[in-house]
Amino acid sequence: MSFRTVLSTTAAVLLFVASPALAQAPEPGDEWRITMSMSAEGFNMPGRTSTQCIARAQRAYAPEPDDKNCRVLDVQTSGDTTTMRMVCTGDEPMEGTGTFTTTDKIMKGEMVMKMRRGTARMTYAGENTGKACDAKALERQANAMIAQGQAATEKYCTDSARAGTLASLFFGANATCADAKYKQMYCGNVKGERGYEMLANEAQIATSTRNPNPVPDIERACGISMAGMERELCTTAEQRKSWTFLAKSCPAQAQPLAAAQCAGRGYTAMAESPYRAFCSAYGIEPVSSDDAAAKPADAPAPAKPAEGGVRRGIRGLRGVLGR
């Protein structure tokens, strides 16, 4: 524990920490102006003044150490004054004494802590400004903001899960919407061709951004297998006439079909072919040079014997000139 941490721990002991429970009703309080200062070996923090609303019921001093290594002992109260002893163990053991006086109009206190490195002293003085206030107002505001934030997160996570956007929201170490209920909503999208394409897209994004691939997590959470989906969908794609999916996602099935039905086929000649949509989709997919021969070609491959020199010359000329 560093020396400065010691000081802040000491100061935390003396702060009136509001209860984290949701406060619905106002609590009568008084406005206090409090000045706090600290000093230690070679360190001085000048007095800082703040205004706080302190509940009247809370004004009786009840020390609560902020550090689990610290214990408050020998608390004794006489009239408006309370004395106590504090002992802290751990990396930086220390012992200290405190004296705190609180009346309706003033409060003052001093805490002196002795450590191996020296002595730290914290003092505070406060006066009741005479203004009444709601001691729970700040807490209610904070709770309302927290509730708003939680509601916004809930909506965002629900909407995103239902739409099946961004697996990284739901899966992985930094998932914002890691709750199982959102994962289940997300899993509702991972079905059929659209679901398979979602997984393929997530894998592609992970590769291009050099992030962990979320697909294994999705498979586990949703009880699915991407490879199994691919097998089932690709073996039936031609039967279902799902040409774009076949061309884009099923290379093992697409290539031989393209070689049989598209290779070298002219665009105009294929107008009435049942495979035209497939050839069109396959034509824009990137393929290896080995598969390039399966691509359709705008102009059909010539079927007649080699033409004479004059015709070759005319055709070549047309190829050069505007058309």
**CB of 36 within 8 A of CB of 140?**
no
Nearer to other proteins by Cβ, of 179 and 197: the residue is 197
- Applying CB under 8 A, does 201 fall inside the site for other proteins? yes
Amino acid (one-letter) located at 186: Y
Asked if 301 interacts with other proteins (CB under 8 A), we say no
Judged by CB under 8 A, the residue of 298, 302, 306, 308 near other proteins is 298
User: What one-letter code names the amino acid at 98?
Assistant: G
Distance CA 262, CA 273 (A): 10
Residue 164 CB, nearest approach to other proteins (Å) = 6
Half-sphere exposure of residue 67: CA atoms within 13 angstroms, side-chain side: 24
* Ramachandran angles phi, psi of 298, nearest 5°: -55, -45
Choose the stretch contacting other proteins; rule: CB under 8 A; options: 37-45, 79-87, 232-240, 314-322.
Answer: 314-322
Q: How far is the CB of 248 from other proteins (least distance, A)?
A: 9
Measured distance between the N- and C-terminal CA atoms of the chain, rounded to whole angstroms: 83
Beta-strand pair 106-115/28-40:
unpaired
Q: Which of 92, 110, 134, 197 binds other proteins (CB under 8 A)?
A: 197
Residue 268 within binding range of other proteins, rule CB under 8 A: yes
204 binds other proteins (CB under 8 A): yes
Complex with other proteins: residue 172 or 300, whichever CB lies closer: 300
Give me the least distance between CB of 268 and other proteins, in Å please: 5
Binding mask 228-267 for other proteins (x = CB under 8 A): ----------------x----------------------x
- At closest approach, how far in Å is the CB of 89 from other proteins? 55
Nearer to other proteins, 102 or 189 (CB): 189
If one asks whether residue 273 binds other proteins (CB under 8 A), the answer comes out as no
Q: Between 87 and 205, whose beta carbon lies closer to other proteins? A: 205
Cα separation of 205 and 207, whole Å? 5
The pair of three-digit structure tokens given for residue 285, joined into one six-digit string: 């997919």
Q: For residue 140, which of 27, 17, 15, 56 has the smallest C-alpha distance?
A: 27
Evaluate whether 75 touches 84 at the Cβ level (below 8 Å).
Answer: yes
The least distance separating other proteins from the CB of residue 216, rounded to whole angstroms, comes to 19
Name the residue nearer to other proteins (CB basis): 129 or 204.
Answer: 204
Instruction: Kindly state whether residue 281 participates in binding other proteins, applying the rule CB under 8 A.
Output: yes
Q: Which two tokens stand for residue 67?
A: 């550090």
The verdict on 284 binding other proteins (CB under 8 A) reads: yes
Q: Are strands 43-55 and 106-115 parallel, antiparallel or unpaired?
A: unpaired
Among 42, 79, 286, 309, binds other proteins (CB under 8 A): 286
Q: How far apart are CA 129 and CA 168, in angstroms?
A: 52
Does residue 150 interact with other proteins by CB under 8 A?
Answer: no
Q: Tokens 């109009």: give the residue.
A: 105
Sort strands 119-134 and 70-78 into parallel, antiparallel or unpaired: unpaired
Listed residue (70, 33, 77) closest to 54, CA to CA: 33
- Is 77 a binder of other proteins (CB under 8 A)? no
Instruction: From 289, 19, 290, 276, select the one nearest 138 (Cα to Cα).
Output: 19
- Please compute Rg for the chain using Cα positions: 38
- Candidate residues 29, 126, 164, 214; the one interacting with other proteins per rule CB under 8 A: 164
Binding site residues, other proteins, CB under 8 A: 163-165, 189, 194, 197-198, 201, 204-205, 244, 267-268, 271, 277, 279-284, 286, 295-298, 319-323
